[in-house]
Amino acid sequence: MFLVACNDDDEPTPVAQEDIVDIVVGSDNFTTLEAAVIQADLVSTLQGDGPFTVFAPTDDAFTAFLEDNDMSASDLLANDDLAGILTYHVLSGEVVASAVMPGEVTTVNGASFYVSEDANGAIWINGAAKVTTTDIMATNGLIHVLDYVIMPPSSSIAEIAVAKTMEEMPEFTQLVGALSRANLVEAVSGDEGDLTVFAPTDAAFQALYDSNPSWNDFNDIPLETLTAVLTAHVVPARAFAQDLRTGTSLATLNADAVLQVDLDAMTVGGASLNADMLNIHATNGVIHVINEVILP
Query: How many domains does one find in the chain?
Result: 2
Query: Are residues 129 and 176 located together in one domain of the fold?
Result: no
pLDDT(9) > 80: no
- In terms of DSSP H, where are the helices of the chain? 20-25, 31-39, 43-46, 59-68, 73-77, 82-87, 157-165, 173-181, 202-210, 223-231
> What is d(CA 49, CA 2) in angstroms, rounded to the nearest whole number?
18
User: Residue 168's pLDDT band (boundaries 50, 70, 90)?
Assistant: confident
Helix axes 157-165, 173-181, angle to 10 degrees: 130
Minimal CA–CA distance to 55: which of 153, 150, 152, 154?
150
Query: Are residues 134 and 231 located together in one domain of the fold?
Result: no
Asked whether residue 183 is assigned to any structural domain, the reply reads yes
pLDDT(191) > 60: yes
Q: Which domain holds residue 194?
A: 157-290
Minimal CA–CA distance to 229: which of 265, 181, 281?
181
Query: Are residues 174 and 239 located together in one domain of the fold?
Result: yes
Q: Tens digits of per-residue pLDDT, 107-135? A: 999 999 999 999 999 999 999 999 999 99
Domain boundary among 77, 112, 146: 146
Cβ atoms of 194 and 238 closer than 8 Å:
yes
More confident residue, 169 or 72: 72
Estimate to the nearest angstrom the gap between the alpha carbon of 37 and the chain centroid: 23
pLDDT(13) > 90: no
pLDDT(11) > 70: no
Asked whether residue 91 is assigned to any structural domain, the reply reads yes
Query: Are residues 141 and 173 located together in one domain of the fold?
Result: no
Q: How many other β-carbons are positioned within 10 Å of the β-carbon of residue 45?
A: 18
Is the whole model's pTM more than 0.95, yes or no?
no
pLDDT(4) > 50: no
Query: Are residues 44 and 97 located together in one domain of the fold?
Result: yes
Query: Are residues 73 and 138 located together in one domain of the fold?
Result: yes
Asked whether residue 295 is assigned to any structural domain, the reply reads no
Check which CATH number belongs to the domain holding 80 and give it.
2.30.180.10
Cβ atoms of 246 and 261 closer than 8 Å:
yes
Give the mean pLDDT of the chain: 93
DSSP type of residue 187? G
Query: Are residues 138 and 22 located together in one domain of the fold?
Result: yes
